[in-house]
Structure 1
């Protein structure tokens, strides 16, 4: 009762609501991840008491994980790594005019998953901690591979292309200092490569920037594309609650998988949401509906990544082992206030620990109310014209990439990856497998190398990797997932075979492209032989897998119909994209706010000059000034984060 009375003190409630509101804003802005939100807030907790500071940080953690679903649903841009799976069905539902419905489902599912995760934290922390400790390096290796194979099967496009994308993401994770050996590799003599690619910059480059370029590309197709996101279907909160309650399997599987994965050190919400999405899809009778606006997909993803929050706090509070990157930053917040996680936490600081834990349960109810109150207003963002929305997304992407490490290298990383992803999507490559490959590549390699070392010490690395209940179970899951992908491929080929009439010439361009890519991979494999074993073993496995998939695609190009490639040859659009990309790369010369202002002017003026839509120049100028000043108020005046500035002459 004393703890409950402390919890409902006015200052604690104010800190909780403030944290949730800030967290939602952080999650809704592309590039500002939950980890960054918590890290930016820690200095502001110095003057607060331990309880108030932890409640504020916890509110930001919960709110930002939920807030990441907002841009994922509305614009196909995950606001946080944990929201990648939400884009699979959330964005297609928004395209059908059901943005409000998708946001309501995400809010209610987030509440359900968050409550379940926090209840597990309160009542089952000791038991579940023992479960998380059972996962060693080999289990981490297999679960990382499972995540990559799952995302390859459930993403858009063919399984072979998705696996190629996953391997490409793993290759990106090799750049920089190895977490096991501490040795730099694949830096090519470039100092900026030593630190590797930051996950925020990579996610922005794979999702946000290509989406902005596609919006600009669609402008020439008239007002139908410009208005494609407008709300056309009414929704009610009661109906959305009913939709969630009618799908208990999605909530249960999503929350359970999210909480369990959250407890595994380093896994995080991105793995949890993808695995939960796959398992719900596996047990669904309407598998083909997933990826086209299926409600269960949104419910599974959002319940999983919010249940992950409670799960990640279990090993953090009981053992001092963070279950996610954000939980690792949260650990710093605990230590700053002189609180050491572990068994003594619930003895020496019982009032602080239990007040914080129960505040996280209360946060889910506040989050539900705030989310449902904001849904109507948030859904109106879909009515923003594309010629304003595209440059706004680009500007937020640039500042989001920069503020992660105050590095222009991250900005250029995001822009270059964005351009490459924009081209790859023309060939039906999906960004999700590349993103998950990059995130899980480090986990898989670390588990592989540690497993080899431990297995060698025990007499047999092979036996160490292929023994034990969890190892065998995860291996079985991987084989089942790959088997399903092969079965579907054979089934689709059988269905397409009767439609092919006569003998068709091979697609020589595609065959040549796949063989050239395969030759480059062979060269990489040969060059890798000069590296030490610890640095080359996992890259060699990855490049070997890539070579196999490339050869398969080459053979497929010989036997199957020509692949559909969707290139836009509208020279006016190409010119606009070139101008926008060039202006985006001039961040260091123009300064961020000047660049933002010019981007906001460039796209609508181009639309006006091409007579795709009649716009008023004064209106364009007003909107550009207003948006630039809003960014200045948020990032410079409020958050006080550094931004790229124009160099002094």
Structure 2
């Protein structure tokens, strides 16, 4: 523990926080990429200093995606998709400072709750997570897919159509189990399928940029992307965030639980927390128009996955995500064995990691509160400048994923397709959700049936059955809400 509160460790953690925030604010540059780039720098550090630095990048990354989501309408990371739904409309309505401040405080409280749960409940939660087999994973994804009901916009039919389209896009390319090519039609362009991040950047970034340059006169005369009201009042935002304590805690706990499920990650937590907040809200019709409830739910949900993901890693030696796998590699480089005995054999290190999570959360809060005034200056940049700059960043980000030129063609094609869908009033979020969840659902369904062909196991295993019942209840509540809305809209 003494190693944590030393000047070198605090300095490297601070640098890690700044690096995580900046990296995640760039569309296409994921938290995983930032962590991987940090790993070699920690080899010469003491074990706790190295892991604490990487945890700082980790926690900072979950908060950094908020910046581009709020100011540009582009998710900086996959875990900030739902943040764009309300943070960007709030910024477009002239309150970019409020959107950022709400997101910062929500991220802080989400990370704080996850760190507290991590300290108190790591072993018992890990025992639950390890009992999840392929059947439970598939049922969890089915439950997560019910989020589509909250993202369909005005038309349930159009939302379901784009959701199914996303599932189809996820099947293009190599079969996840056998590696057999599917739906490529002998086009080399489709041989590797549609990488998720390429779809994400294309749908949200390129299509949004195309909408921004529709009016040639406004673009030519240098009109700003969002109104230049850079009022940033963090204390007002803190008070506003704390007026929704149930939403804040519920979304954080959703994030912790999803983070503790290996392979789920912040993108699912972000959407699921947003969905639950909308269902529980007294004014669900305001979601998507710039309501603070949506910003609070999405940002606290995704930030809480940082602590949740460490639960199976520390207690059982199972990485909850790609980032946790890199953290495991960092510990193994220093000769520390990962597994159920980690807490017993290296208790000081483990509790040092817990404290590093808490410290990183406070560091991210301070860094963000001091730096957001500078990020808000983006509002002063003319549209004619910011659109090409962001487009170049998107292209570089897409290419950097796999170093394939074909990904750039896919990015532009998906962007144009997303633009056409938005013009036809089709919601884009269900499509992205389908691309995220499709491969996970398919892999676990096939794995379950390959293990045992008895399909009734999905209904006889208690956890799987509970998740499927929750999915049915979720759909039923969504239909009931739709019918109520339709009835209320009819003239008396």
- For this structure pair, what is the TM-score category when the shorter chain's length is used for normalisation? over 0.9
* Distance (Å, rounded) in 2 between the aligned partners of 1:223 and 1:89: 28
Distance, in Å, in 1 between the alignment partners of 2:416 and 2:223 is 22
Measured after TM superposition, the shift of residue 81 of structure 1 is 0.5
> Structure 1: any 5+ residue segments left out of the alignment?
500-649
Contact 2:3 2:49 in 1 (8 A): no
Q: 1:189 to 1:364 in 2, by over 3 A?
A: same
Q: Secondary structure at the match of 1:474?
A: helix
1:201/1:401 contact within 8 Å kept: yes
Task: Quickly say closer, same or farther: Cα 1:225–1:485, change in 2 above 3 A.
Answer: farther
Report the counterpart of residue 341 of structure 1 in structure 2: 338
SS state of the match for residue 341, structure 1?
Answer: coil
The structure that has the greater radius of gyration is 1
Alpha-carbon displacement from aligned partner over 1:49-72 (angstroms, at most 9, x marks no partner): 322221221111111111001100
Flag structure 2 segments of 5+ consecutive residues without an equivalent.
none
Partner of 2:150: 153
1:120 matches 2:113: no
Aligned to 2:95: 98
Q: Is the 8 A contact 1:142 1:475 kept in 2?
A: yes
The 1:497/1:298 distance shift into structure 2, 3 A limit, reads closer
CA contact (8 A) 1:170 1:437 kept: yes
Contact 1:30/1:71 (8 A) holds in 2: yes
Q: CA 1:347/1:156 → structure 2, altered by over 3 Å: closer, same or farther?
A: same
Is 2:390 the counterpart of 1:416? no
Is 1:391 matched with 2:384? no
Distance 1:319 1:12 in 2: 27
Structure 1 match to 2:6: 9
CA distance in 2 between partners of 1:330 and 1:162 (Å): 38
2:350 to 338, 353, 365: 353
Query: Are 1:89 and 1:292, in contact at CA under 8 Å, matched by a contact in 2?
Result: yes
RMSD: 2.2
Q: Is 2:302 the counterpart of 1:317?
A: no
Q: Which residue of 1 aligns with 2:469?
A: 476
| Aligned counterparts of 2:217 and 2:325: Cα–Cα separation in 1 | 46
Match of 1:400 in 2: 397
Matched, 1:465 2:458: yes
Q: Is the 8 A contact 2:222 2:382 kept in 1?
A: no
After TM superposition, the structure 1 = structure 2 runs for residues 504-519 of structure 1, keeping only pairs within 5 Å, are: none
Work out the CA distance in 2 between the residues paired with 1:436 and 1:361: 31
Q: What secondary structure does 1:317 align onto?
A: helix
Tell me, yes or no, if the aligned pair for 2:225 and 2:382 is still in contact at 8 Å.
no
Offset at residue 154 of structure 1 (A):
2.8
Distance in 2 between the 1:244 and 1:223 partners? 39
Q: Confirm or deny: 8 A CA contact 1:159 1:485 kept in the other structure.
A: no
Please give the per-residue CA displacement for 1:248-299, whole angstroms capped at 9, x wherever unaligned.
0111111000000001111101111111111111111111111111111111
Inter-partner Cα distance in structure 2 for 1:400 and 1:55: 27
> Within 5 A, what are the aligned runs for 1:551-630?
none
Q: Deviations over 1:193-251 (max 9, x none)?
A: 44332222121111111111111114435799934612448452221111111110111
Relative contact order, CA 8 A, sep 6+: which one is greater? 2
| 8 Å CA contact retained: 1:153, 1:162 | no
- Partners of 1:370 and 1:358 lie apart in 2 by 18
Aligned CA distance change for structure 1 residues 193 and 41 (closer, same or farther; 3 Å) = farther
Tell me the equivalent position of 1:136.
133
CA drift at 1:159:
2.0
Paired residues of 2:225 and 2:383 also in contact (CA < 8 A): no
Aligned positions of 1:79-90 closer than 5 A: 79-90=76-87
The SS at the match of 1:298 is helix
Query: Shift of the alpha carbon at 1:315?
Result: 0.7
Report if aligned partners of 1:152, 1:166 keep a CA contact under 8 Å in 2.
Answer: no
1:199-210 equivalent positions in 2, closer than 5 A: 199-210=196-207
SS at match of 1:68: helix
- How far apart in 2 are the matches of 1:152 and 1:340? 44
**1:292 and 2:292 aligned:** no
Residues 16-31 of structure 1: pairs in structure 2 closer than 5 A: 16-31=13-28
* In 1, Cα distance between equivalents of 2:219 and 2:73: 21
CA distance in 1, matches of 2:277, 2:142: 19
> Any idea what the Cα deviations from partners look like across 1:392-451, whole Å, max 9, x if unmatched?
110000000111111112222211111111111111122211111111111111121122
How far 1:467 sits from its partner (Å)? 2.6
SS of corresponding position for 2:199: helix
1:639 is aligned to: none
Aligned length: 492
1:565-601 deviations in Å (ceiling 9; x for gaps): xxxxxxxxxxxxxxxxxxxxxxxxxxxxxxxxxxxxx
